[in-house]
Amino acid sequence: MAADRIFGLIALITAVAYLAAASQIQTNLFSGEFLPKLFPFLIGGVAAICALTIVFKPDPDPEWPVAGTWINMALAVLVLAVYAVMLTPLGFILPTAIAAGVLSYQISPRAIPATLSGIGLSLGLFVLFKFALGLGNIVAYRIPTAQKLWDAFAILIPFVGGH
């Protein structure tokens, strides 16, 4: 019940924000005044109706994980996000080994198998992608300057990094 009401409210706010953004869509002579806004308006409107329906007719709550699992999952998101920005400055092997190892540990918390699967996956996938499939833009390793490392990391901090 509660979960659906919160979800419906978030969806409603998003839909209203979407409608507001749609009303600000720039137009010019080629597109006409209204056509670029028409479909976004329809989508936002339907979404708002659906969101209201969910708020007033919620389904039973799903089974949520316990607090510890939430922390684990948040950690996994963080690891994946850091992995995403480190893939370019550090190359493939080191970030992949760490990220795969951490994920493995989170699914089954045993240190040695997790470490081994991290290293094994990293090297195995590198050989597969680089030599068997010949994907071009994967580099084994790069040694970045501190500045480059910070630049990549800063992407994840709101209002600081990102280009």
Partner 1 sequence: MEILSNLALGFSVALSPYTLFLAVCGCFLGTIIGALPGLGPSNGVAILIPITFTLGLDATSALVLMTAVYYGAMYGGRISSILLNIPGDEPALMTTLDGYPMAKQGRAGDALVLSGVASFVGAFLATVGLMLLAPTLARVAFYFGPAEYFALYMLAFCTLGGMASNNQAKAALAACIGLGIAMVGVDSSSGLPRLTGGNLHLYDGVDFLVAIVGLFAIAEIFFFIESHGKGSSLGVKLEKVRVPWKDIFSTKWTMLRASGVGFIAGVLPGAGASLGSFLAYMSEKSIAGDKGGFGTGVPKGVAAPEAGNNSAAGGALVPMLTLGVPGSGTTAVLLALLMTLNITPGPTLFTDNADVVWGLIASLLIANVVLLLMNVPMVKIFVRVLTVPAWVLLPGVTMVSFVGIYSLTGSYFDLLLMVGFGVLGYFLRKLDVPTVPVILGILLGGNMEDALRRAMTLSDGDPMYLFSSPIAVGLWAFAIAGFIAPMFLRGVLKKPQAITD
Q: H-helix or E-strand containing 49?
A: helix 35-56
Q: Residue 144 Cβ, how far from partner 1 at the closest point, in Å?
A: 14
Q: Residue 143 Cβ, how far from partner 1 at the closest point, in Å?
A: 19
| Crossing angle between the packed helical segments 2-23 and 35-56, to the nearest 10 degrees | 160
Which of 87/149 has CB closer to partner 1?
Answer: 87
Q: Residue 30 Cβ, how far from partner 1 at the closest point, in Å?
A: 5
CA angle 157, 77, 83 (to 5 degrees): 70
